[in-house]
Structure 1
Amino acid sequence: MTERVLILGGRGRIGSAVTNDLVTHTQADITITGRDPVTNANGGDRVRFLALDLEEEEKLREAIANSTIVIHCAGPFHYRDTQVLEICIEKGINYVDVSDHRSYTQAALNLCQKAADAGVTAIINTGIFPGISNSLVRQAVEQFDLAEKIHLSYLVSGSGGAGITVMRTTFLGLQHQFAAWINGEWQIIQPYTDREELNFPPPYGRNAVYWFDMPETITLPKSFPEINTVVTKFGSLPDFYNRLTWMAAHIFPKWLIQKNSMIELLSHVSYTMTDFTNQFTGIGVAVRAEVTGIKEDKKMAYTAAVLHNNTTVATGLGTGSIAQLILEGKLQKPGVFPVEAALSTNLFTQVMDSRGIKINSHWLTL
């Protein structure tokens, strides 16, 4: 029987990247959705388009019931509830998403037992970061006798090949302070603070990153209870975008940055700017995971990094690989889980190899 994939938000840039990955690596029939009708869908005979607004609940239920797996790409997830996931659990349909906000993540994780009882495998926070980043951490943690600290850093060139939705996500992430797991306790962090310059693999070199609220901040301490600190930081190229983002986070009045109209204005201005600078910076991504701890009675640091020349395509690879493994029956874990709690390092390295993604890693004695 032909597997049937439903990609909600499949006409967006990330949804399109997921579609392309699944067309390449599976034989599934794919239905992509969007609110605006179109005459056809890219991807050949195996891809069709369904006009669907998530507010059309009966139509959504029917589309989910007719699928083997649902991939939720209709962000920003700051605005989403768990309706799609709940319908999947009700209908017994496996689920994957590209969610990237802690409130959604926590709400989804709260449905873990319901999904387990229904035999539904639901993997959240897939993509590049979160997603591939989580698996890099798991691989690194497994190298230690006792892992103690996780430091994740993400660097994106220009727009990363993304659209307005991802720009919105960035500015929405500046609105509120957040809790991070530091020295064995939850501490309040101000977004886009504590500038830190780190060495990334070539061609990126030394670049700056700042504190940024990511789902990994709350999932990694639960997935790896021995860890006492989890740091998640983000930076942009060229560096003046970091300066502008810092200004939006710390100079603009809070009431202003929390207005939807201001988020829209900043998102469109940023998209226009990056669309121009992309020709100089490219649209690539670097993900750097550093774990420190004890190995053979020595204090050591293990750093793993992944690079790709297109951030959006890399997101599609991360999500597509998870969906592929579920479709093939290689990833079966009833419940709701972040990537690092569901995907083994062995399977992770297999799907990265199949997509030509190299993992750069090295040890350092502290």
Structure 2
Amino acid sequence: MQRVLIIGGAGRIGSNIAKDILTHTDAEVTITGRNTQQGSITQQQLGSRAEFHPLDLANPPELRAAVAKANLVVHSAGPFHYRTTDVLRACIEQGVNYTDVSDERSFTRKALALHPEAETAGVTAVINTGVFPGISNSMVRQGVEALDETTSIQLSYVVAGSGGAGVTVMRTTFIGLQRPFDAWLNGRWQSIRPYTERETLEFPAPYGKANVYWYDMPEAITLQQTFPVKSVITKFGVVPDFYNHATRAMAHWLPPIVLRSPKTVEFLAHVSHSMTSVTDRFSGTGVAMRCDIKGQQAGTATHYVSTFAHHSAAIATGLGTGSIAELLLSGKLKHPGVYPVEQVLSTDLFKATMNSRQLEIHQTLNKAEITS
């Protein structure tokens, strides 16, 4: 019997990953966390093929021992701004495949730097999985393959309220506002200030027209490495729209030294979580994504658009990461090394896992709808 170790599996994101793995594979799941009471409750909800094991990531021998018992490790203990690559390194040392829900640029770079070691050890490590990044990366690959030549990629994301993902996602949002970041624009890296250049785009129902802003995502660097394009744009927004105005105010009015304080991040994260616990009742906790790719097909300038929506951002993240876990466990995804999703997951496999989870990607090409 195969066993999956989910680091942070007692949390909202981790437990949704566990549910997907238990649904689509025969594997047994070990979830970890620091809160024993929460872990026990989550284990009972997941059923007899799941167990809870308390784990301290700051204890290397304990971490290595837990990894050694697994066939696959899923790292879902964010925010990844604060994480080292110790879990990935332990997997490489133990010869265990790995995937994660990392969503932060510096962590992505540190993980990709371990590619030679993972390749030598025969370990397949797929990072940046989930919904965004994750499903979004595969949407880009699908679109690039639909064109003869690609010049620009834009990924735009909208989350309703908390997204159902808990206070950790709030921390991640405010950490992402702390510093300018580099974006690949017109063939060169340029410094961008987060939460600028508000743009109104059309998203799937029930969102319709929604507003998004520049936001730092790891796709900004991995897509530039994967595809020969002149520009990669990543934007993010929240509904209801008043959250965008509040977030922009935090990004531009608070002194940098205050915004970068861990105490400030904790305060803002908990205040925001309290607010969304009220507004989630009418806004929902869903996610919508839009992929705009410009290029050429048959010598003609072409604009490809694909969209995706789900009623829960947390559940969608679980489905995205769970699908990668399923492929790793089955041996269908076997490429030793460390990769972002778009470099290692074929469009055929992507479509198969989306179909098995009844998830739809809607696509248009020059205003003519094409099937997924």
TM-score range, shorter chain: over 0.9
> Per-residue deviation at 1:204?
1.1
Q: Which of 249, 252, 257 is matched with 2:251 structurally?
A: 249
Please give the secondary structure, in 2, of the residue aligned with 1:222.
helix
RMSD: 0.8
- 2:325 aligns with 323
What pairs up with 1:291-310 in 2 under 5 angstroms? 291-310=293-312
Moved more, 186-195 or 52-61: 52-61
What pairs up with 1:276-355 in 2 under 5 angstroms? 276-355=278-357
What pairs up with 1:74-223 in 2 under 5 angstroms? 74-223=77-226
2-structure distance, mates of 1:87, 1:19: 21
CA deviation digits over 1:324-353, x for unaligned, max 9? 001001000100000000100000000001
1-structure distance, mates of 2:62, 2:83: 18
Please give the secondary structure, in 2, of the residue aligned with 1:142.
helix
Give unpaired runs (5+ residues) of structure 2.
368-372
> Per-residue deviation at 1:76?
0.4
1-structure distance, mates of 2:71, 2:204: 39
What pairs up with 1:39-54 in 2 under 5 angstroms? 39=40, 41=43, 42-54=45-57
1-structure distance, mates of 2:250, 2:321: 30
1:55 matched to 2:58: yes
- 1:14 aligns with 13
Please give the secondary structure, in 2, of the residue aligned with 1:207.
strand
User: AA paired with 1:111?
Assistant: L
> Per-residue deviation at 1:34?
0.6
User: AA paired with 1:324?
Assistant: E
Identity %: 53
CA deviation digits over 1:211-258, x for unaligned, max 9? 00000000001011x211000000000000000000000011111100
Q: Which of 276, 279, 283 is matched with 1:274 structurally?
A: 276
User: AA paired with 1:94?
Assistant: N
Please give the secondary structure, in 1, of the residue aligned with 2:81.
coil
1-structure distance, mates of 2:300, 2:118: 41
- 1:36 aligns with 35
1-structure distance, mates of 2:169, 2:237: 14
1-structure distance, mates of 2:366, 2:217: 26
What pairs up with 1:224-239 in 2 under 5 angstroms? 224=227, 226-239=228-241
Q: Please report the TM-score for the alignment, with normalisation by the length of structure 1.
A: 0.98
Please give the secondary structure, in 2, of the residue aligned with 1:78.
helix
> Per-residue deviation at 1:162?
1.1
> Per-residue deviation at 1:36?
2.1
1-structure distance, mates of 2:361, 2:217: 22
Q: Aligned pair count?
A: 363
CA deviation digits over 1:290-348, x for unaligned, max 9? 10001011101111111100000000000000000010010001000000001000000
Moved more, 40-49 or 305-314: 40-49
CA deviation digits over 1:76-98, x for unaligned, max 9? 00000101101100110000000
> Per-residue deviation at 1:44?
1.0
2-structure distance, mates of 1:181, 1:305: 23
User: AA paired with 2:312?
Assistant: N
User: AA paired with 1:84?
Assistant: V
CA deviation digits over 1:165-218, x for unaligned, max 9? 110000000001000000010000000000000111222111110000000000
2-structure distance, mates of 1:86, 1:162: 27
